[in-house]
Amino acid sequence: MLKKKRCKGCARACPGYDHKRILARDLPSGGCRIYLDLEVFRVRCRCDGTVKPERLSFLADNPHFTKRFAWYVGRRCRESTLKDVADEFNLDWHTVKELDKQYMRAQLERFGSPGPKVIGIDEISIGKGKAAGSYRIVVSDLIRGRAIWFGGEDRKDASMRQFYDWLGEKKACGIRLVVMDMWRPFYNVAKERVPQADILYDKFHVMKQLHEAMDKVRKSEYARLQGEQRRYIKGQKYVLLSHRENLSMEGRKSLKTLLAANKRLNTAYLLKESFGQLWDYEREGWARRFFDNWKASLKWQRIDPYEKFATMVESHWDGIASYCKPENKVPLGFVEGLNNKIRVIQRRSYGLRDEEYLRLKILTCMLPRL
């Protein structure tokens, strides 16, 4: 006589129906595959009359594998591609992907959803070819150093509101600082949903605008000069954009020769290097005085790209000056570091068509292993 099993749906004892044997793959030992020979009962549910297999807590979602084997596969997928892991364990790569998904969901369940105090917002491109221009929003907790949300259909206001809806009003009230680039929809929604939080523009995006202005000056000088005078400028883009202390001995010699040969580039380079001092001030008044002096030094220089950059900084001053507050000195490099990790994930996979798999990869890339 078969034992009675308890139905999870109706919470009542259901009469036994039959049983079947399965082989569940477990962790290998000594280079040999290990399989568990199990007898699993099937019971008829009194609620809807369907036949359901018995659930064993140590089995993965795919009952032909144990959870610890799935966790082992998931850990291997953090460093290797799905194809490499599939070849290593002699499995179909679709099976490896599903085991990896279960592993990452278990990671998220264990570490939960935090109540962030400082968040960083950025967008990533997920499309190529015809899908180029498709964006998704990534939100990270800068204090705990992990991504907490990935979603949206684009980078507009409606998609940004989805994050705050997911977070909930109670946790949103705990946010004191929002770090972002100068994309207007991010700013508008942050002011609408978390008005108590300070807005801080990521200094890496600000400096990127300055570097683009520097490169425009280099291109205009190259176009203005003729013949032999061009040879000092040709191929020196990254020498001009890098800090002098980061250059090799050969790069420093090239920079010195270039700046001695072209007065306009020398002025633009010195202005670029001096602007970085803005991030060292701890009082907004001193930062403002420095920026006013820097802006005044552009007078009579006729460097149009720098004047446009100064106008941009002026219009976004509140979000830039927020970094002067001591409590806002947070690690801003995390957002760019996370973006680099995402690009590595996409490049290693030659693009991911399964967006749910990409979401799980992004949300767990900074989490400890199980």
Q: Tell me the per-residue pLDDT of 132-153, one tens digit each, with 9 for 90 and over.
A: 568 999 999 999 999 999 999 9
Which pLDDT band holds residue 4 (cuts at 50, 70, 90)? very low
| 274 has pLDDT over 60 | yes
What pLDDT is stored for residue 30 in this prediction? 85
**Residue 18, pLDDT score:** 66
Percent of the chain with pLDDT over 90: 56
Task: In whole angstroms, give the CA distance from residue 234 to residue 20.
Answer: 74
pLDDT digits (tens, 9 = 90+) for 152-199: 998 899 999 999 999 999 999 999 999 999 999 999 999 999 999 999
Lowest mean pLDDT among 72-86, 212-226, 269-283, 335-349: 335-349
pLDDT > 70 fraction of the chain, expressed in percent and rounded: 92
Mean pLDDT of the chain: 87
Can you give the pLDDT at residue 3?
Answer: 45
Residues contacting 241, CB < 8 A, separation 6+: 211, 214, 215
CB neighbour list of residue 187: distance below 8 Å, 6 or more residues apart: 180, 199, 319
Containing 321, the helix (H) or strand (E) segment is helix 317-321
Q: Yes or no: say if 138 and 148 are a contact pair by the CB < 8 Å rule.
A: no
- Among residues 294, 236, 290, 235, which one has the least CA distance to residue 267? 294
Closest CA to 332 of 147, 120, 150, 116: 120
Running DSSP on this structure, what letter comes out for residue 2? Answer: P
Please, how many CA atoms are within 13 Å of residue 361, restricted to the half-sphere of its CB?
A: 26
Q: Is-contact 334 145, C-beta < 8 A?
A: yes
Average confidence (pLDDT) over 46-51 = 80
Q: Which of 134, 221, 138 is nearest to 180 (CA)?
A: 138
Alpha helices in 2-156 (DSSP H): 67-77, 82-89, 93-111
The model's confidence at residue 42, banded by pLDDT at 50, 70 and 90, is confident
Nearest to 234 by CA among 262, 209, 212: 262
Q: Are 217 and 193 in contact (CB under 8 A)?
A: no
Q: Does pLDDT of 127 surpass 80? A: no
